[in-house]
Structure 1
């Protein structure tokens, strides 16, 4: 499984968020598995800040032709929402609303990621898995310093059962700054980090 974070007008998003959220990005709220038009519409109308969605190589429901990146979770390979439409819909929402949304895309295959390159290229930004981040502080700090002019931030994620050196990860988050660190991890890991206040967790 390959994962990539994509943010749309994220700097503007944070400028519109409440002051406390701007100080601590680990409190940003998430909607997960936003893989169809109905849920996308609901998520865009909600108070969440970030939308997480899954991408496979497949087809729009009822349509033939070469496979394209669509929003679905395996084993599904059909959807009523393509990656292109997903991104354009979020972008349109952000252009028209003061409270904008960022997105996190979870590519389920290398093939889906490769096909998506022309679509996501204008928006892409890397993320790091929590278990790796906890042991990569020097590299990550160098990367953030080198991209500071882009108003860069870091997204740390993990899955249930991942081994994470909690103390090191907490130190990394506090060193980078909670105002520059998104957190998308299971509740038990978030609780063990003891970040102020209430770190955002996966549903």
Structure 2
């Protein structure tokens, strides 16, 4: 139900394109693309019915994308999620490339958006790391920055499945403490293909949070292993794709 794309500053490959860098749809370390952010949004306006998630990879990419987002905002009739890693997270992860305060301040000025703010992570097959968690320091810092920046837009926290499942109570507290500030907080649970994820723990996390509090962005084989038969607010039709339920709820509020 969602289209996700990474936004960087780079060269747009086109016959008459200039050499100037503009916001393009590409993942680092790429530096060029045949699809600009403006073209991506225009396609959605004219042909799309899915929600959009834009993952900004640098301050420069986000700052140069703001006028484009404002231009298209009146025409977009779907959920728009603005995502960035704004805090350093587990396990001994690198520092984020996005300035926390700048992103929160400026993203909050784009109406009818959902903020997706998360942590950098160091986990998975690439690093041969299969253990770790979002500790209280990570979670407390996130609540602090949301509070200090007076965020009023809906917020979703992208958390890596293999890490989030190791502290279900922490995830519950994160949502509880943020909802009292923003009025609406969810998790976006994600994983890469080769991540180690305890399926039983992930199933438990989703059921205890409730499917109305979860976006699910995991490989299909992992999703198919989940046992969600007793999850709250769930029907058998929704069980195959949790994200659909939340997207439609968001869409109905925005139209």
Question: What is the TM-score when the length of structure 1 is the normalising length?
Answer: 0.60
Query: What's the Cα RMSD here?
Result: 3.0
Q: Is the 8 A contact 1:31 1:43 kept in 2?
A: no
Higher relative CO (Cα under 8 Å, sequence separation at least 6) belongs to 1
In the TM superposition, what are the counterparts of 1:166-181 in structure 2 within 5 Å? 166-181=199-214
User: Which of these residues, 21, 45, 48, is aligned with residue 46 of structure 1?
Assistant: 48
Instruction: Return 121-130 or 105-114, whichever deviates more.
Output: 105-114
Larger radius of gyration: 2
Question: Would you say the 8 A contact 1:190–1:200 is kept in 2?
Answer: no
Equivalent position SS for 1:163: coil
Question: For the structure 1 residues 145 and 53, does the alpha-carbon distance in structure 2 shift closer, same or farther, using more than 3 Å as the test?
Answer: closer
Shift of 1:164: 0.9
Tell whether 2:149 aligns with 1:116: no
1:21-54 CA-partner distances (Å, limit 9, x unpaired): xxxxxxxx111226321112223441212x2333
| 1:33/1:52 contact within 8 Å kept | yes
Matches within 5 A, 1:85-124: 85-89=67-71, 91-93=73-75, 97=77, 100-106=78-84, 110-114=96-100, 116-121=103-108, 124=115
Residues 155 and 183 in structure 1, CA contact (< 8 A), matched pair in contact too: yes
Tell me the number of residue pairs that the alignment of Structure 1 and Structure 2 aligns.
149
CA deviations 1:45-74 (Å, max 9, x no partner) are: 41212x2333234xxxxxxxxxx5226xxx
Superposition misfits of 4+ residues, deviation over 6 angstroms? none
1:141 is aligned to 2:172: yes
Query: What are structure 2's unaligned runs of at least 5 residues?
Result: 7-24, 26-36, 87-94, 116-154, 229-235, 244-255
